Structure 1
């Protein structure tokens, strides 16, 4: 049986990345045994029934694999240097090591960039050129592959095809319900957060809705959710679900989702929940364009509470959703990435 090291931002408590991992594992051919790089190997092994190693452990595993085995960048925005230059260097270093070892290397459903550092741009280009297969999840990444002359194909984010389920322990406040996901980020300062909170209060007054605050990564989302809740004072609930399928199922129960994280918007849209985006990153802006989600970029966030509330009310009352045909197409496009692995299913 072939082995495959699947490398991503796993075991860090980020629900979006956990959803990516589970989406890959759901579609992995039976003859491929996954070995997962994780920030919390014990938890990853327990949650998904797989072998998992930390950073140092995964390097040792690369040396143990043979030329028929695989090394996979498993979805997400692994190669970008906006938050840190260390992160892309780490993931590129692992891929280079795998290529030097003679493994089959795959860049799976990647969102490449933004990359500002010329050396990181050059190194990424060289590494991708030596991959056995490359797929990307958005048009901007595709444009970069075209410019670099790299053979690739494009598919939707794998989370579009992730199966969803309703948690048996879910005890939500009554309908109507408006979901909110925000995260700590330099583009969301105290003044903007205060405007969002005042807009949510006004939205509640006009809809009589309960606010469901949904952290996607406890270390970066929970504190800010708690702060919003304290200022709302009533008719709110914090729902912290670790299971990606249960988290995706939650969005079936909402009447509107105001989301900052990419996968909060993907999960909600895939479950036919109307969405409004608060974009802090080009990947969120790209999604807004690709599936026609209304929203604001936080760098150009308005200061008028009435204007914001009016926009939210329009979406709340008109309930714009993706059509069944569009959802089917997105799910099929999300499964395109699997063709990178199907060639090893023998």
Structure 2
């Protein structure tokens, strides 16, 4: 059985690459995956699977006639907060797959927010045609239920990802991991506040700061800008392979993160976390897992106030509770794949 895997793959975003790794590991042995990727050569080399360019419409049309199934492979694909094009692309491919009578699965999805009524209606119709749906948060489950559809709820699959090649810190000081990404809410003013707060935090706590970009194009320049302002021990480590990226959080006693999967990776590796939420999916994680954090839009303007908040959480160093449960829950996304393709 050949199945198309469709997601935000091949963009060197370690979070979405981690979802792909988890999906490949959970697929039944009888399924041959074909991945749609923005960089199919890298996807094939890194994971040993067949991959094709995700904008080669002729090839995609051909694949839809040659395959038996189609999977949205994790993430927030159907939302219109960051892009209107995204739900049209992913929803359009799913709709075509359904018209061509492939078995379709919405797997480990974070659905919404969908603020535009036409996209909300379109998402509902596409989900209605799915053979199975699994979601990764309670808000997505409630939305699907409002539409009269059944969905399987389990934790984000990345909770279960096995880390590789964890590198040791070059410093004997306690290690603090930091991940920030480019976003309209991360204005130059807010970035200046965060940078100054990190300077003070590092001085007060005598820590080694490890800046970890998850996506080179959006995170690295910010990490570099912060690094030159830090007076103490620090480093920038970037690993495009998601298993190695997760390993970078091992040993972090405290993590300050924007990206959803930076927080999941860090918490899964036992780090105490503080979330800077720029997106509803991060806010959902804060609420459901009980992570301390702040909405980026409501960030204090006083860097000393932010530093004091971080210092308080650093001194307490409370790892996230329920990590073992979340890791086991994440593995349950495999149940849906088994049900559709094997049972």
The alignment's TM-score, normalised by the length of structure 2, stands at 0.96
- Counterpart of 1:329 in structure 2 is 325
Helix, strand or coil for the counterpart of 1:106? strand
Partner of 1:77: 76
CA contact (8 A) 1:59 1:94 kept: no
Mapped to 1, the partners of 2:205 and 2:320 lie a distance apart of: 23
Q: Relative to 1, partners in 2 of residues 1:270 and 1:167: Cα closer, same or farther, differing over 3 Å? A: closer
Matching of residues 30-109 of structure 1 within 5 Å: 30-55=29-54, 56=56, 57-65=59-67, 69-109=68-108
From the superposition, tell whether residues 191 and 238 of structure 1 become closer, same or farther in structure 2 (CA, over 3 Å). same
List alignment gaps of at least 5 residues for structure 2.
none
Matches within 5 A, 1:213-228: 213-228=211-226
The answer on whether the counterparts of 2:27 and 2:337 sit within 8 Å (CA) in structure 1 is yes
Q: Which residue in 2 is equivalent to 1:185? A: 183
Work out whether residues 78 and 112 of structure 1, in 8 Å CA contact, stay in contact via their aligned partners in 2: yes
Distance 1:92 1:133 in 2: 15
CA contact (8 A) 2:18 2:161 kept: yes
* Contact 1:173–1:237, Cα closer than 8 Å, also in 2: no
Instruction: Write the deviation string for residues 149-190 of structure 1: whole angstroms up to 9, x where unpaired.
Output: 11111110000111112346x664433111110000000101
Shift of 1:63: 2.0
Inter-partner Cα distance in structure 2 for 1:178 and 1:114: 32
Identify which of 333, 339, 344 aligns with 2:335: 339
Equivalent residue of 1:99, what SS?
helix
Equivalent residues of 2:165, 2:244 under 8 A apart: yes
Which residue in the other structure is 2:227 paired with? 229
* CA distance in 2: counterparts of 1:86 and 1:310, whole angstroms: 41
Give 3-state SS (helix, strand or coil) of 1:109's partner.
Answer: strand
Is 1:281 aligned to residue 279 of structure 2?
yes
Q: Return closer, same or farther for 1:164/1:145 CA change in 2, 3 Å cut-off.
A: same
Alignment deviations for residues 18-38 of structure 1 (CA, whole Å, 9 cap, x no partner): 000001111111110110010
Q: Distance in 2 between matches of 1:232 and 1:127?
A: 49
Look up the match of 1:313: 311
CA distance, structure 1, for counterparts of residue 304 and residue 232 of structure 2? 21
SS at match of 1:98: helix
Q: Secondary structure at the match of 1:251?
A: coil
Distance of 1:124 and 1:135 partners within structure 2: 14
The question of whether the paired residues in 1 share the 8 Å contact of 2:175 and 2:209 is answered with: yes
Aligned with 1:140: secondary structure?
A: helix
- Show CA shifts across 1:175-215 (max 9, x none): 31111100000001011101101100111111111111110
- 1:199-218 paired onto structure 2 within 5 Å: 199-218=197-216
- Tell me the residue number matched to 1:153: 152
Q: Report the alpha carbon displacement of residue 95 of structure 1 after superposing the two structures with TM.
A: 0.3
Please tell me the root mean square deviation across aligned C-alpha atoms, in Å.
1.3
Q: Which runs of 5+ in 1 are unaligned?
A: none
Residue 141 of structure 1 is matched in structure 2 by 140
Aligned residues: 339
Q: Segments of 4+ in structure 1 off by > 6 A?
A: none
SS, match of residue 135 in structure 1: strand
Give the TM-score taking structure 1 as reference length. 0.95
Give me the whole-angstrom Cα distance separating, in 1, the residues matched to 2:114 and 2:226.
33
Deviation at 1:241, TM superposition (A): 0.9
- Contact between 1:88 and 1:120, CA under 8 Å: does it hold in 2? yes
1:254-293 pair list within 5 angstroms: 254-293=252-291
Per-residue deviation, 1:60: 2.3
SS at match of 1:58: helix
CA contact (8 A) 1:112 1:136 kept: yes
2:263 aligned counterpart, secondary structure: helix
